[in-house]
Amino acid sequence: MAAKKNEDVFSVSAFDPAKVTEGLRDFAEKGAEQSKQAFARMKAAAEEASKTVETTVQSAQAGTVDLGLKAIDALRTNAESSFAHMEALLGVKSVAEFFELQTSFIRKQAEVAVEQAKTMQDATRKLAESVSKPAKDAAEKALSTFKAA
The verdict on residue 27 lying in a domain is yes
Residue 8, pLDDT > 60, answer: no
Residue 42 falls inside a structural domain: yes
- Which domain does 92 fall in, by range? 16-148
Distance from C-alpha of 32 to C-alpha of 113, rounded to nearest angstrom: 65
Measured distance CA(79)–CA(55) in Å, rounded: 36
Q: What is the total count of domains within the chain? A: 1
Q: What is the pTM of this model?
A: 0.60
Average pLDDT over residues 126-146: 80
**64 within a domain of the structure (yes/no):** yes
Contacts of 48 (CB under 8 A, 6+ apart): 138, 141, 142
144 occurs within a structural domain = yes
In a domain, 10, yes or no: no
- The model's pLDDT over 26-73, given as tens digits with 9 standing for 90+, comes to 888 888 888 888 888 888 877 887 888 888 888 888 888 888 999 999
36 Cβ partners below 8 Å, 6+ apart?
Answer: none
Query: Is residue 105 within 8 Å of 89, Cβ to Cβ?
Result: no
Does a structural domain hold residue 44? yes
